[in-house]
Amino acid sequence: MARHAFKMYLFEGKAEEYKRRHDALWPDLQSLLKDSGISQYSIFLDEATHTLFGVMEVADEVKRTELPNHPVMKEWWTYMKDLMETNPDESPVSVPLREVFFMP
């Protein structure tokens, strides 16, 4: 099981809407993530900088790398693009983070 951490950038004033949308995560998206081997997925917010910090466990790297091609994933990105910095394909700007410590 691999662990991945990353940061994304929320627009100022969008934290409550971001949380509201994730509290109502689409069942199709949740199933897609789980079926792709993703578990223990959390997103935290640094309210001072509007930086989102995500961490997830991944059982299948190949399936994880295929997620950007899935229609449900693309729909979610379109739904979320008004809340956060995105790339030209509407995916969130996401910066991978290197693990420097882990205590199991």
Tell me which residues are annotated as active site: 22
- What burial class does residue 74 get, using C-beta atoms within 10 Å of its C-beta: 0-12 exposed, 13-18 middle, 19+ buried? middle
Element (H, E) at 3: strand 2-9
* Closest CA relative to residue 41, chosen from 65, 25, 20: 25
Neighbours of 62 (CB within 10 A): 8
Neighbours of 52 (CB within 10 A): 21
